[in-house]
Chain A
Amino acid sequence: MARSARDQILGAIRASHKRGPLDGDAAEPARVRLETHPRGLIPARSRIAPAEQVALFVEMAQAVAATVDRVDTLADVPDSVADFLAGHNLPAAIKVAPDPDLRRIPWAKRPVLEVAAGKAEDPDIVSVTGAVAGVAETGTLMLASGPDSPTTLNFLPDNHIVVLRTTRIVGPYEDAWDRLRARGDLPRTVNLITGPSRTGDIEQVIQLGAHGPRRLHIVLVDRDDAA
Chain B
Amino acid sequence: MKSTAHAFVENAREAVADRRLHKALSNMKAGFQNKRAATVAKLPEFEALRDQGRDIKNHVLANLDLYLERFERRVTQAGGQVHWARTAAEAREIVEGICRDAGAKTVTKGKSMVAEEIALNDHLEANGFTPIETDLGEYIIQLRGELPSHIIAPAIHLNKEDVEETFRKEHTHLPADRRFDDVPDFTNEARMVLRQKFQTADVGITGANYLIAETGSTVIVTNEGNGDLTQILPKTHIVVASIEKVVPTLEDATAILRLLARSATGQEFSAYTTFSTGPRRPGDLDGPEAFHVVLLDNGRSALLGTPAQEVLRCIRCGACMNHCPVYAAVGGHAYGWVVPGPIGAALDPGLIGVEEAHHLPNASTFCGRCESVCPMRIPLPKIMHHWRTQAFEKKLSSPSFRLGLKTWAWVAKRPGLYAVGSRLAIGLLAALGGRRGRFATLPLARGWTDHRDMPAPEGKTFRQAWADRRKHEAA
* CB nearest to B276 among chain A residues: A189
In the bound assembly, the distance between CA atoms of A111 and B144 in angstroms comes to: 51
Q: Say which residue of A21, A37, A174, A212 sits within 8 Å of B271 (CB atoms).
A: A212
Q: B residues within 8 A CB of A112? A: none
Task: With A64-B268, A188-B287 as known contacts, state yes or no: A30 contacts B163, CB within 8 Å.
Answer: no
Task: With A30-B248, A147-B283, A194-B270 as known contacts, state yes or no: A205 contacts B183, CB within 8 Å.
Answer: yes
B376 CB to nearest chain A CB (Å): 14
Q: Is the CB of B305 within 8 A of A155?
A: no
* CB nearest to B32 among chain A residues: A204
Q: Which residues of chain B in 138-189 are interfacial with respect to chain A, using CB atoms and an 8 Å cutoff?
A: 140, 153-156, 158-160, 163, 183-184, 186-188
In the bound assembly, the distance between CA atoms of A15 and B28 in angstroms comes to: 42
Q: B residues within 8 A CB of A10? A: 65, 68-69
* CB nearest to B306 among chain A residues: A16
Q: A residues within 8 A CB of B233? A: 152
* CB nearest to A216 among chain B residues: B271
* CB nearest to B63 among chain A residues: A30
Q: Is the CB of B285 within 8 A of A147?
A: yes
Q: A residues within 8 A CB of B249? A: 33-34, 37-38
* CB nearest to B255 among chain A residues: A40
Q: Interface-forming stretch among B223-231, B378-386, B423-431, B449-457?
A: B223-231
Q: A residues within 8 A CB of B155? A: 201-202
Q: Say which residue of A22, A151, A187, A196 sits within 8 Å of B63 (CB atoms).
A: A22
Q: Which residues of chain A in 134-158 are interfacial with respect to chain B, using CB atoms and an 8 Å cutoff?
A: 138-140, 145-147, 150-152, 154-156
Q: Is the CB of A211 within 8 A of B302?
A: no
In the complex, per-residue mask of B269-293: 1 if CB is within 8 Å of any chain A CB, else 0: 1111111111111011111000000
Q: Is the CB of B224 within 8 A of A197?
A: yes
Q: Is the CB of A210 within 8 A of B224?
A: yes
B62 contacts the other chain (CB 8 A): yes
Q: A residues within 8 A CB of B280? A: 145, 188
A7 CB to nearest chain B CB (Å): 9
B358 CB to nearest chain A CB (Å): 22
Q: A residues within 8 A CB of B295? A: 9
Q: Is the CB of A5 within 8 A of B287?
A: no
Q: A residues within 8 A CB of B49? A: 41, 43
Q: Is the CB of B283 within 8 A of A41?
A: no
A57 contacts the other chain (CB 8 A): no
Q: Say which residue of A152, A192, A202 sits within 8 Å of B286 (CB atoms).
A: A152
B101 contacts the other chain (CB 8 A): no
Q: Say which residue of B62, B72, B272 sits within 8 Å of A192 (CB atoms).
A: B272
B194 contacts the other chain (CB 8 A): yes
Q: Is the CB of A5 within 8 A of B186?
A: no
Task: With A34-B248, A186-B277, A202-B160 as known contacts, state yes or no: A209 contacts B43, CB within 8 Å.
Answer: no
* CB nearest to A16 among chain B residues: B304
In the bound assembly, the distance between CA atoms of A187 and B59 in angstroms comes to: 27
A107 CB to nearest chain B CB (Å): 20
Q: Is the CB of B66 within 8 A of A191?
A: no
Q: Is the CB of B225 within 8 A of A9?
A: no
A154 CB to nearest chain B CB (Å): 7
Q: B residues within 8 A CB of A192? A: 269, 272-275
Where chain A touches its partner, the secondary structure class is loop
In the complex, per-residue mask of A174-199: 1 if CB is within 8 Å of any chain B CB, else 0: 10010000000111111111111111
Task: With A9-B86, A150-B286, A187-B277 as known contacts, state yes or no: A64 contacts B183, CB within 8 Å.
Answer: no
B274 CB to nearest chain A CB (Å): 5
Q: A residues within 8 A CB of B64? A: 13
B27 contacts the other chain (CB 8 A): yes
* CB nearest to B82 among chain A residues: A6
In the complex, per-residue mask of A86-122: 1 if CB is within 8 Å of any chain B CB, else 0: 0000000000001000000000000000000011101
Q: Is the CB of A191 within 8 A of B228?
A: yes
B239 contacts the other chain (CB 8 A): no
B328 CB to nearest chain A CB (Å): 13
B97 contacts the other chain (CB 8 A): no
Q: Is the CB of A174 within 8 A of B281?
A: no
Q: Say which residue of A18, A30, A39, A197 sits within 8 Å of B225 (CB atoms).
A: A197
Task: With A30-B67, A202-B183 as known contacts, state yes or no: A211 contacts B134, CB within 8 Å.
Answer: yes
Q: Is the CB of A155 within 8 A of B225?
A: yes
Q: A residues within 8 A CB of B30? A: 204
Q: Interface-forming stretch among B6-14, B210-218, B397-405, B436-444?
A: B210-218
Q: Is the CB of A43 within 8 A of B43?
A: yes
Q: Is the CB of A22 within 8 A of B153?
A: no
Chain A residues within CB distance 8 Å of chain B: 4-6, 8-10, 12-18, 21-22, 27, 29-30, 33-34, 37-41, 43-45, 60, 63-64, 98, 118-120, 122, 138-140, 145-147, 150-152, 154-156, 173-174, 177, 185-205, 207, 209-213
Q: List 13 A-B contacts (CB under 8 A).
A: A12-B301, A12-B302, A16-B303, A29-B59, A34-B213, A41-B45, A64-B269, A145-B284, A146-B284, A147-B285, A190-B275, A191-B274, A211-B191
Chain B residues within CB distance 8 Å of chain A: 24, 27-28, 30-32, 43-45, 48-49, 52, 56, 59, 62-70, 72, 78, 84-86, 90, 134-137, 140, 153-156, 158-160, 163, 183-184, 186-188, 190-191, 194-195, 198-199, 213-215, 217, 223-226, 228-229, 232-233, 243, 248-252, 254-255, 257-258, 265, 267-281, 283-287, 295, 297, 301-306
9 tightest Cβ-Cβ pairs between the two chains A and B: A212-B225, A204-B31, A210-B224, A16-B304, A201-B137, A147-B283, A12-B301, A37-B249, A192-B273
